[in-house]
Copies of this chain bind each other. A is one copy, B any other.
Amino acid sequence: MRDTVEIGLGKAAQRGYHLDDVAIVPSRRTRDVDDVSTAWQLDAYRFEIPCAAHPSDATMSPDRVIELGRLGGLGILNVEGLWTRYEDPSKLLADLRTVVEAEEPVTPRLQEIYAEPIKPELITERVRVMREAGITVAVRVSPQHTLALAPVILDAGVDLLVIQGTVVSAEHVSTVDEPLNLKEFIADLDLPVIVGGCTNYQTALHLMRTGAAGVIVGLGADDDSTSDTVLGIRVPMATAIADAAAARRDYLDETGGRYVHLIADGDIHTSGDIARALACGADSVMLGAPLALAEGSPAGGLWWHSSASHPKLPRSAVGYYAEPMGSLDQVLYGPSDDPYGRMNLFGGLKRAMAKCGYRDVKEFQKVGLMLDR
C-alpha cells in the first residue's frame, strides 16, 4: 500500500515515484504493431498521436506549430513568447545559439530579449497564419496575463486555449490584483481550455471542476529545468499522473460522465518515457526538449523553459543539441537510426503497446507496472 512515512516525530510525508522508477510489464499476450492505434481525441479535435508540444520559443514557432499539426500532433504557440514581442525573432534566436556556442552566459541575454513588451497585433497575426494552415490552433497564455490577453486571443480565433504556469491552482489569492477566476472564465468561453501544471489529486480535481477539457500534470521537469533547486518543488511524475487519473475517475463519477484529459508534462525524454507516462494514466504527453532534437527546430537545437527568462528568478538552464537527429517527421514516426529511443517516438510507443498486447491508449493505461528503483 501507499507509504505515508513519518519523516520526523509528527511530520508525515507521502512517498512519490518518478517515471524512471517504473517499468512496464508485458502481459501474457502480444499483438501485431499494425493493429495498434495511438490516436488521441480531445473534444472535437483528433490527433494521430497523443502529443502536445510544450509552448517554448525554443521549439514552437508558428511554422513549427503548423508542421507538427500537419504531422498529427498538437502544436502550441506561447503568446507571451518572442513571436508576439518581435516581428521576426529569427535573428535573436540565431544569436542565442552563438552565445551558447561561445560558452558565454545565456540567461542574461534571454532576460534581455524577453524584456520587450508583448504586441497584441502580433498575437492576431500569428494566429491568423496558423489558422490559414488548416491545423488545430492552440496558444498558451499564463494565468497572470489571461484576463489581459484573452480578448485579443479569442478575437484572433483559436481552437484551443492553454492556460499554463509553473504551478496553477483553481484558487489564486491576491490582495494586489483581481485574480483570475478560472471557473467563471472558462464557463464564459466557447472553446475547450487546457489548464495546468498541477502536481496532485486535489489540485487536479479542482482544475477539472473549472470546466477545463484538459489538465496538464507536472511542471515540465527535465535536465534543464531547475524548479527543484530554486523552489524546492520536484514532482514525482508517476505518482502525480496516477493521482490525477484518480481525480479524473472521481470527477467522471461526480459529473456523470465528463472525461477530462490528462497531459503529462515532465521527465519525458524518450519513447520509453512516453509509454510509461501513458501507462501511469496520462491521455497524452507534452514534449519539450525531445522536439529540440529535430532538424529545423526554431532555436536550432537550443532548449529552454519559459521560466528561463524570468527577470529576477530564472528557473531553467539552456540546453543545446548541436546535432539534430532527423526531421520532425522522423523524430515522431521514424525510421530511426538512434538506438536510444529519441527518434521514432511514437513508433516506439506503438511497439511497446503491441508487446503488451494492447490496442489503444485508453486500454494501455491498464498495463502492469513494476517499481524497481
Point out residues on A near B: beta carbons under 8 Å.
1-18, 21-32, 34-35, 105, 107-108, 111, 166-177, 179, 198-203, 206, 226-236, 238-246, 249, 269-276, 279-281, 308, 311-317, 334-342, 344, 347-348, 351-352, 355, 357, 368-372
Contacts and interface: CB of A to CB of B under 8 A. Distances in A.
A3 B281 CA distance: 21
Nearest to A34: B176
A20 to B, nearest CB: 9
14 contacts: A10-B249, A11-B242, A14-B368, A15-B372, A26-B200, A26-B203, A31-B172, A32-B176, A34-B176, A35-B174, A231-B272, A233-B352, A313-B347, A317-B340
A271 B22 CA distance: 28
Contacts of A32: 172-177, 179
Contact of A8 (B171, B241, B348): B241
Contacts of A311: 335
B334 A313 contact: yes
Contacts of A228: 23, 272
A269 B226 CA distance: 13
Given A6-B1, A175-B32, A202 B11 contact: no
B35 A176 contact: yes
Nearest to A172: B30
Contacts of A342: 229
Contact of A371 (B15, B179, B245, B281): B15
Given A8-B281, A272-B232, A280-B11, A169 B29 contact: yes
Nearest to A359: B173
User: Taking each of A167, A168, A235, which has the highest tally of chain B beta carbons within 10 Å of its own beta carbon?
Assistant: A167
Given A232-B279, A312-B336, A369-B13, A8 B352 contact: no
Given A171-B29, A173-B35, A226 B276 contact: no
By Cβ-Cβ distance, the 10 closest A-B pairs, closest first, are A8-B242, A9-B246, A2-B6, A232-B275, A11-B242, A230-B341, A232-B272, A229-B341, A23-B234, A32-B174
Contacts of A167: 26, 30, 355
Contact of A231 (B234, B235, B246, B275): B275
A129 B54 CA distance: 55
Contacts of A312: 334-336, 344, 347
Contact of A341 (B12, B175, B226): B226
Nearest to A166: B355
Nearest to A344: B313
A69 B235 CA distance: 36
